[in-house]
Amino acid sequence: MAQKYSEYTVPGIGQENGHEIAGLLQGRLHALNDLQLVLKHVHWNVVGPNFIAVHEMLDPQTETVRGLVDELAERIATLGGSPSGLTGELVSARSWEDYPLHKAGVQEHLAELEKVYTGVVEDHRDVLSKVGQIDPITEDLLIGQVKELELFQWFIRSHLER
Amino acid sequence: MAQKYSEYTVPGIGQENGHEIAGLLQGRLHALNDLQLVLKHVHWNVVGPNFIAVHEMLDPQTETVRGLVDELAERIATLGGSPSGLTGELVSARSWEDYPLHKAGVQEHLAELEKVYTGVVEDHRDVLSKVGQIDPITEDLLIGQVKELELFQWFIRSHLER
Amino acid sequence: MAQKYSEYTVPGIGQENGHEIAGLLQGRLHALNDLQLVLKHVHWNVVGPNFIAVHEMLDPQTETVRGLVDELAERIATLGGSPSGLTGELVSARSWEDYPLHKAGVQEHLAELEKVYTGVVEDHRDVLSKVGQIDPITEDLLIGQVKELELFQWFIRSHLER
Amino acid sequence: MAQKYSEYTVPGIGQENGHEIAGLLQGRLHALNDLQLVLKHVHWNVVGPNFIAVHEMLDPQTETVRGLVDELAERIATLGGSPSGLTGELVSARSWEDYPLHKAGVQEHLAELEKVYTGVVEDHRDVLSKVGQIDPITEDLLIGQVKELELFQWFIRSHLER
Amino acid sequence: MAQKYSEYTVPGIGQENGHEIAGLLQGRLHALNDLQLVLKHVHWNVVGPNFIAVHEMLDPQTETVRGLVDELAERIATLGGSPSGLTGELVSARSWEDYPLHKAGVQEHLAELEKVYTGVVEDHRDVLSKVGQIDPITEDLLIGQVKELELFQWFIRSHLER
Amino acid sequence: MAQKYSEYTVPGIGQENGHEIAGLLQGRLHALNDLQLVLKHVHWNVVGPNFIAVHEMLDPQTETVRGLVDELAERIATLGGSPSGLTGELVSARSWEDYPLHKAGVQEHLAELEKVYTGVVEDHRDVLSKVGQIDPITEDLLIGQVKELELFQWFIRSHLER
Amino acid sequence: MAQKYSEYTVPGIGQENGHEIAGLLQGRLHALNDLQLVLKHVHWNVVGPNFIAVHEMLDPQTETVRGLVDELAERIATLGGSPSGLTGELVSARSWEDYPLHKAGVQEHLAELEKVYTGVVEDHRDVLSKVGQIDPITEDLLIGQVKELELFQWFIRSHLER
Amino acid sequence: MAQKYSEYTVPGIGQENGHEIAGLLQGRLHALNDLQLVLKHVHWNVVGPNFIAVHEMLDPQTETVRGLVDELAERIATLGGSPSGLTGELVSARSWEDYPLHKAGVQEHLAELEKVYTGVVEDHRDVLSKVGQIDPITEDLLIGQVKELELFQWFIRSHLER
Amino acid sequence: MAQKYSEYTVPGIGQENGHEIAGLLQGRLHALNDLQLVLKHVHWNVVGPNFIAVHEMLDPQTETVRGLVDELAERIATLGGSPSGLTGELVSARSWEDYPLHKAGVQEHLAELEKVYTGVVEDHRDVLSKVGQIDPITEDLLIGQVKELELFQWFIRSHLER
Amino acid sequence: MAQKYSEYTVPGIGQENGHEIAGLLQGRLHALNDLQLVLKHVHWNVVGPNFIAVHEMLDPQTETVRGLVDELAERIATLGGSPSGLTGELVSARSWEDYPLHKAGVQEHLAELEKVYTGVVEDHRDVLSKVGQIDPITEDLLIGQVKELELFQWFIRSHLER
Amino acid sequence: MAQKYSEYTVPGIGQENGHEIAGLLQGRLHALNDLQLVLKHVHWNVVGPNFIAVHEMLDPQTETVRGLVDELAERIATLGGSPSGLTGELVSARSWEDYPLHKAGVQEHLAELEKVYTGVVEDHRDVLSKVGQIDPITEDLLIGQVKELELFQWFIRSHLER
Amino acid sequence: MAQKYSEYTVPGIGQENGHEIAGLLQGRLHALNDLQLVLKHVHWNVVGPNFIAVHEMLDPQTETVRGLVDELAERIATLGGSPSGLTGELVSARSWEDYPLHKAGVQEHLAELEKVYTGVVEDHRDVLSKVGQIDPITEDLLIGQVKELELFQWFIRSHLER
């Protein structure tokens, strides 16, 4: 579904630029909204001898990603867009499938989650390079998000490395 | 997608009963997972003279509903089920459409949200009456959830009443 | 004074049922509202060698009962009623007299307070048995209230027993 | 019902003076005790587009007025009196009627509440001018109470002004 | 050792009923008191690569079970009984043996603990079905306890599942 | 020992006035400094069936009186005086004897303490009436102190009254 | 710029009196608003061996003075006035010059600040003596403010004294 | 008034560059210092049915802007400048008039405030683009400030949009 | 049941010494584990006019003794032992009987509890004198425990003294 | 004044020993009680460019020493003694004079305070070596106190060293 | 010693780039690890009249720098490197000598510390300019670190300036 | 590098003794300073299925050891020494090599860390036995440190035991 725009954007970058960035951010919003749900899904479905440690590791990741979602959505609104947080629109718009596992061992889940993070980070870095020319504020916001996401990915990779 | 079950359920109610209840709860999990996303969506998209008060009222509702989601999912797992928190499965399984509004006035949003709550509560009460015969623990959990949801609905209705 | 009702009640139990329960709860609201005031009154008027311990024991009881009052009143409103918290209406509607003591010894006050708790609990249990058929949510709310009130009564009885 | 007095009052002002002031304060205690109940009553019964903001504004007012009630009652006891916090005595002794509204719009309720505050403040100022000659401690206590009450009244007036 | 009873029970259910329920609860009190000690015992004696995660997981379980013990004992007293928390009486009265392991690997301990939880939950559900006819307050208390115990059991099972 | 004065006092009341008030306050400082030590002394030496309640009641009194001591001393310094907190000067300057009890029953101690409070409050009220003409700020500070001290005295009297 | 007044003032003192006091308080509001800015200015510009201690001492002073500003402004509004917090009006209305130092040594800054406090306190005491006849509540508010300001001045004087 | 400079600036950018940036930041410091005062001014002077919600929304904005002021001023000092926080200098140096409203309705105030934010953000973005070439640290600091200011502006715009 | 030992003990005292101390500490662990249960038992079973004060005094004692139990058990494990926290082993190994009272008056309970403390402290001091030659760390741990236990005993003795 | 003793002392050291130690500790109690008052006295009377840093450094010292006083006094009571916290007895019993300074410079005060600490520590170490033979618990308590006192003395010495 | 690398780096920048940046950051990690130790070293060794203020100022600096160390090391690991925090490697790799002072006056220490900060900041800015082309996330992390370090340097310079 | 000494040591043990102990403690300071860095190093470099649990277990160990470092260093200073916290001096003075692992599996790291703890504890116990004759305060400080270090070593050993 196409975004609706207000008649304003942030001061100093022009309405067209502002609305274009808002449009790019909508894709990142869907990605992070899906990620917060996947993190909870894994939180419930991991099993095995390391259950409790990984179960607990995922909650602060969920909490942080939910914060990033809110930050993105309010930036879209600030730029004059109308952020969509709806599941139907998310599923229609996304270019990826549902996360593939249900109840499964810790290492299997972490291996899948590692791939999810790679996808999210690559796309974030892609949008980041596009918006940097126009709006340093949005650029900085995305840099801060990538920093957190890459750290979480490292946590997960550290379980998989030998 | 069909639920996977472990070889156990909670002590004292029989595996078949336990897994049947887990199946019923999966529907409620999708409903509340959708609700938490809708609440954030409205949080970002309301406009008008009462913006800040309603914007802020919705955050504790989101926070509480996220807690109910977690409680439901862990009850499903405790009963031996494998809770799904995936958006694709949610959208396939649900019997309702996406929330219909994007950027809109406070009263319009609250009128829509009021209907969402009616649907969620009715279905919760429905499942509640079914599980009560078999498992008083799940029954009590659902009663507690309905209590919170009805209170939030009253908050919203109080804005609409004249 | 007769209660005023909104055109709604909670989803799933029918407007008539909802309003009838709201009516029953109004009586409990008066009882607990009176109780919170009596607890403070005793807090100020006890004297004797055990003064400070009993003086301090009553404050968390007051605090808790005030919470129960609020919970009851918001349940009435959720059911579509219009809760009355007015002293004139309370005094007209109640079936008991003012608490009989002013400044008096600790044991005298506790003996009187023990009777007050018996009355409140009996009436709560009475309403509880009536609403259970229609609305398990209100039933559960009253069960939770009785649990707290009986515990406080045990505190008081423990001072009186030999 | 007539107040009972202890054989003491605070050091340095004479027993007769102390008990006279205690008597004057009993009237203020009834007024503030009624006010805390009215504030909760309005908290439950306001409706309209500004519901949540006004609903939440009234809770800290209730909390503060309850603190003033306790302060007054313990001052009466300190002066040698026996403070009454009983509803029956309150209703018999008061010179005003029950608050007139149940479920009603925000502005209607605030307009009524504004009048209640005027009455309470005027009577407080009246007693304050009487006790100042005899007991600067009680005077100071009442000044502190009026300060808080007038501030709350300003909050309410600010909603009504155009 | 036989329980001693006060001359009262909670209002509204009759002294005989109250004391009978108190008797049934004493068995649950011994069971949970033993459980809190077993949880600490395991906390000290687990070894292996998952040591720290499981060692730390057991502390909030101990903390919660101690809370349930207190709740049960104070309910017995509220019903007019005299709760026993003595080890000699516990050992004489119980129908189970000491927990069988001392220093052992994490998975061995969790497998044993899983059985302990099954026993405790089954007996709790058994008493719960008996008291429900007479006293909904005790029933609700036991439902709340089973809910927590089953959740902890799920944590443990999740380590054992493959 | 005679007080030393700085060459300033607070703006607007004249140096002579300021230093005279500082001199009067030094007496109150000795009295409250002695009181904080007596309160601890009683805290350690009470015995009897009400031990723990009274032992604990005295600690917040000590804490508060220590705060009043600090407030008085810094007011003296603010007025240009040099506050003395030395025990030798205290004992030389005071007009009362050491507190008369060591290990003794609760009621005996409270009866003595009640007299101590009477003395402190009377002298505070005396100085308060003297400084009010010259410096409303010091007057207000002393009013606030008397309010706290009288409340503590009421706590103690409430144990003694029958 | 002349103050605008509402059609009300606080109950019991008459509209003319109320508005006159509000006018007097506007002057104090400008003074304290300027003071909070000067305190921050000094916080940034002090240098020398005692830098960190004085830099840190000024932050709680700023915090407190900002609280006094808010208290004054809301009192003006409560009295029916319209408080001005605007810099242009402040600079036009004030009778003093800008604070004279930028980057300078600690002792030089403290010597200047000491003079600023003298001016503010003298004017506060002046207004305080005028309003006391009419409105004891405003009088008490100003007494409380002077108490805090004189204490801060003592802190500063203590650095300067030898 | 011209800024005074120390003989240092931050390592690695050269003294001339450092001092030039400090000069540019002084303008932003005046703008934000004025903004914090305007926010409080509006906090006191808004009236109308949405009073409390908007009154409360402005306090965290004030708090945040005060933090930005401090951050800017300490950056100026770090760069070797001498930050001015004085009202007289502010009024002389600024290119805008005093905020135009006193007591007025919520929507009128928000419409004015929205314009103030536009001005502040545009000028911040302007300085940001100038300093980015020389000092990425100052650039990053300003980006962070613009992010916060634009979010607050969105809050305000959301009240005005229909 | 005989303790199991690991192949290590703490560095520097030799395996035999370490395991011998661990063996001595097991006796103290049983004693304190029994004490924490007795303290709760008394907490539930005291009655009489001082009920609430003594009921509340026992909870921090329980809390502290539970901490000492944990500290002892982890010291045993650190020394290479395998601490037993099992009730069956406790009852077999102990040299004392079950605590003799159930529901009884406060003074009776405190008189019994006083004897329990005497026993625990004497045995602690006995072990303390034995381990001091070999391991100053364990000695210090026991000294710290005796300090706390003797203080609690003094609380209890202070209720009994006349 | 001679100490009064109870008929008990701590278990395991004999009544005579216990009471002898209690007697020795009374001297330390007077010393620390005097020290807490001297620390406050200096807190109020220091002046000079380092005022605020030293003024603030002394408050946690006072707080800690007050804790040590309480610990000592309760140890005396635990040993069967009756601790004296009275100023008259303190002044009669002590072997040192009042602290010699009133208002004076920071370095002068710290030089005097350094001497006070030397005296207190030497006497503490003296008593410590006497009690160590009899009661390791009291020994450990004094060691802990000396540790804190020597650290505070180092703070003070560090101001004086060049 | 040469760094070991994992087979991954952060998504989107290529393994060679990632590992090169990790190598550059290792130098900064050594520098900040040394700095946190130097800050504590100075904390212990400063003497003179400003001792306490400077002693306390250095603790939050240590705390912050330790946080920066952790952030750097986890970024190196995230980029696929293996961060070294070992003292031997630090000393071999660094290009500077040990900090030159032990016990010395405040101003001497601050003058030395000021130089240390200059070195650290210059090298940070140097690396920052290199990584900015390749990885905006690492660039932003270093910008944030320089901001904090320059602020601390300003604190220190402010003590030295006249 | 040889330690520098002040002209004082703690009261009562003689300057030579004090300085000798300070010298012995310097060795322990280097050992613990190295340990805190090794703990962080391991925190960053562990990998494998138990990553998160061990990664998180090491942070409180680092935090505690940093506290012990500070305590040791301030004790050295209190004894008149000049504690060295410099890496160059540490590496020159130590008798052990750098920790041997970089990125490696959890069990490998824990096995190495276990050896590090053995070395630190043995040397601590060695110094402890030397200082006990002269200074019980330093002895007690070291006993407390060994207690913590041995507990941490047990945590690590529990991962390695089978």
Residue A3's CB is within 10 A of a number of other CB atoms, namely 17
Q: What pLDDT shows up at residue E4?
A: 82
- Residue with token string 């209170």: B151
- Please give the Cα distance from E22 to E73 (Å, whole number): 9
**Tell me: the pLDDT tens digits for K9-30?**
999 999 999 999 999 999 999 9
pLDDT top residue among J2 and C138:
C138
* Six-digit token string for K96: 């500077």
> C1 pLDDT exceeds 80?
no
**Residues making up chain D, counted from first to last:** 162
Q: Cβ of I47 under 8 Å from any chain C Cβ?
A: yes
Which distant-in-sequence residues (6+ apart) come within 8 Å of A51 by Cβ? A106, E155, E158, E159
Average pLDDT over residues H102-116: 98
User: Which of E51, E106, E109, E159 to mutate to probe the L interface, most L CBs <10 Å?
Assistant: E51
Judged on CB neighbours under 10 Å (0-12, 13-18, 19+), K7 is exposed
Question: Whose CA is closest to G25, among G86, G71, G87?
Answer: G71
Contact across the interface for A126 and K77, Cβ inside 8 Å: no
Give all chains having 3 or more CB-to-CB distances under 8 Å with chain D: B, C, F, G, H
pLDDT at residue number C162: 79
Cα-based distances in Å from D38 to B46, C32, E7: 32, 15, 41
Mean pLDDT, chain C, rounded, equals 96
Within 8 A by CB and 6+ apart from E149, the residues are: E65, E68, E117, E120, E121, E124
Contacts of H97 in chain G (CB under 8 A): 88
Is D1's pLDDT higher than 60? no
Residue C160 has pLDDT above 60, yes or no: yes
What letter represents residue I54's amino acid?
A: V
Residues H129-142 have pLDDT tens digits of 999 989 999 999 99
On whether the CB atoms of residues L76 and L22 are closer than 8 A, the answer is yes
- Which residue from E144, E118, E143 is spatially nearest to E128, judged by alpha carbons? E143
What is the amino acid identity at position I24?
L
Q: Is the pLDDT of residue F162 over 90?
A: no
Q: Which of J50, J161, J162 sits opposite K50 (nearest CB)?
A: J50
Task: Say how far apart CA A101 and CA A41 lie, in whole Å.
Answer: 9
Say how many CB pairs under 8 Å bridge A and K.
39
pLDDT tens-digit profile of C103-118?
Answer: 999 999 999 999 999 9
Q: For residues G1 and G89, is the Cβ–Cβ distance under 8 A?
A: yes
pLDDT per position as a tens digit, D48-84: 999 999 999 999 999 999 999 999 999 999 999 999 9
- Provide the 8-state DSSP code for A10: S
C65-80 confidence digits (pLDDT tens):
999 999 999 999 999 9
The CATH code of domain L15-160 reads 1.20.1260.10
Contact (CB, 8 A) for I76 and I26: yes
Query: Residue A93: which of A50, A55, A123, A132 has the closest Cα?
Result: A123
Confidence at L2, pLDDT banded by 50, 70, 90: low
The answer to whether H82 and G103 are in contact (CB under 8 A) is yes
Distances L82 to G155, I44, J115 between C-alpha atoms, Å: 34, 57, 22
Helices C51-78 and C106-131 pack at an angle, to 10 degrees, of: 20
Q: Which residue of E has its CA nearest to A45?
A: E158
E strands present in C4-140: 46-47, 104-105
Q: Using a CB–CB cutoff of 8 Å, tell me whether H160 touches chain A.
A: no
Beta strands (DSSP E) in G59-153 are: 104-105
For residue K26, give every residue at least 6 positions away whose Cβ sits within 8 Å of its Cβ, in sequence order, or none.
K3, K76, K81, K83, K84, K93
Cross-chain Cβ contact K147/H140 below 8 Å? yes
Q: Which residues of C102-126 are buried (b: 16+ CB within 10 A; e: fewer)?
A: bbbbbeebbbbbbebbbebbebbbe
Q: Which chains touch A (3 or more CB pairs under 8 A)?
A: B, E, H, K, L
pLDDT of residue F142: 98
Q: Quick check: helix, strand or coil at residue B100?
A: coil
Minimal Cα distance from H142: which residue of A? A137
Name the pairing type of β-strands H104-105 and I46-47.
unpaired
Which residues in chain A have their CB less than 8 angstroms from residue K140's CB? 140, 143-144, 147
Q: Average of pLDDT values for A84-100?
A: 98
pLDDT category, C4, cuts 50, 70, 90? confident
- Provide the mean pLDDT of chain I: 96
- CA separation for the pair I1, I21 (Å, rounded): 17
Distance in Å, alpha carbon of H154 to nearest chain A alpha carbon: 5
Q: What average pLDDT does the segment K112-117 reach?
A: 98
Half-sphere exposure of E46 (CA within 13 A, CB side): 24
* E73-104 residue pLDDT tens: 999 999 999 999 999 999 999 999 999 999 99
Domain positions in chain G are 15-160
CA distance D79 to D19: 6
Half-sphere exposure (Cβ direction) of F50: Cα atoms closer than 13 Å: 21
Q: What is the pLDDT of residues L7-57, one digit of tens each?
A: 999 999 999 999 999 999 999 999 999 999 999 999 999 999 999 999 999
DSSP annotation of F133 = T
Kindly tell me if the per-residue pLDDT of L104 is higher than 70.
yes
**Which helix or strand (DSSP H or E) is residue K115 part of?**
helix K106-131
Q: What is the pLDDT of residues E96-145, one digit of tens each?
A: 999 999 999 999 999 999 999 999 999 999 999 999 989 999 999 999 99
At H162 the pLDDT is 79
What's the Rg (C-alpha) of chain I? Answer: 17
Q: How many CB atoms lie within 10 A of CB L97?
A: 8
I159 reaches E (C-beta below 8 A): no
Handedness of CA B143, B147, B152, B155 (dihedral sign): positive
Say how far apart CA D15 and CA D19 lie, in whole Å.
6
The count of residues in chain E is: 162
CB A152 within 8 A of CB L95: no
Which residue ranges of chain B lie beneath pLDDT 70? 1-3
Task: Report d(CA A99, CA A34) in Å as an integer.
Answer: 9
Which positions in chain K touch L74 (Cβ < 8 Å)? Answer: 44
What interhelical angle do K15-45 and K106-131 show, nearest 10? 170
| pLDDT of residue F2 exceeding 90 | no
Q: Tell me whether residues G11 and D118 touch, CB distance under 8 A.
A: yes
Yes or no, beta carbons of C78 and B144 under 8 Å apart:
no
Is J77 in CB contact (< 8 Å) with chain I?
yes
**Chain E residues with CB-CB distance to L107 below 8 A:** 49
Please give the pLDDT value at position E2: 58
Q: Which two tokens stand for residue I88?
A: 């069956």
Picking from C137, C77, C12, the residue whose alpha carbon sits closest to that of residue B120 is C12
Along the 162 residues of chain J, how does pLDDT read in single tens digits?
556 899 999 999 999 999 999 999 999 999 999 999 999 999 999 999 999 999 999 999 999 999 999 999 999 999 999 999 999 999 999 999 999 999 999 999 999 999 999 999 999 999 999 999 899 999 999 999 999 999 999 999 999 997
Residue C95 contacts E, CB cutoff 8 Å: no
Q: Which residues, 6+ apart, have CB-to-CB distance to A109 below 8 Å?
A: A42, A45, A46, A54, A101
Got the DSSP string for chain L? -PPP--S--STTS-HHHHHHHHHHHHHHHHHHHHHHHHHHHHHHHEESTTHHHHHHHHHHHHHHHHHHHHHHHHHHHHTT------HHHHHHH-SSPPP--SSEEHHHHHHHHHHHHHHHHHHHHHHHHHHTTT-HHHHHHHHHHHHHHHHHHHHHHHHH--
Test C121 with E11 for CB contact under 8 angstroms.
Answer: yes
The pLDDT of residue H1 is above 90: no
- Quick one: what percent of chain L has pLDDT higher than 70? 98
Distance from CA of D2 to the nearest CA of G (A): 29
Backbone Cα Rg of chain G = 17
Nearest to I139 by CA among I15, I24, I49: I24
C-beta atoms surrounding I62 within 10 Å: 19
Contact (CB, 8 A) for H22 and H136: no
H137's CB contacts (< 8 A; 6+ apart) are H10, K143, K146, K147, K150
Contact I159 F52 (CB under 8 A): yes
Q: What CA–CA distances, in Å, run from I103 to C162, I59, I100? A: 9, 17, 10
Report which secondary-structure segment, H or E, holds C147: helix C136-160
What's the pTM? 0.97
Q: How many CB atoms lie within 10 A of CB H24?
A: 17
Tell whether the torsion through CA atoms of D140, D141, D143 and D148 is positive or negative.
Answer: positive
Eight-class DSSP state of D97: P
CA of E106 vs chain B CAs: smallest distance (Å): 21
Q: Where does the pLDDT of residue L81 fall: very low under 50, low under 70, confident under 90, or very high at 90 and above? A: very high
How many Cα atoms occupy the beta-carbon half-sphere of F140 within 13 Å? Answer: 19
* Predicted complex: ipTM over 0.85: yes
Residues in chain A: 162
Per the prediction, chain F carries an average pLDDT of 96
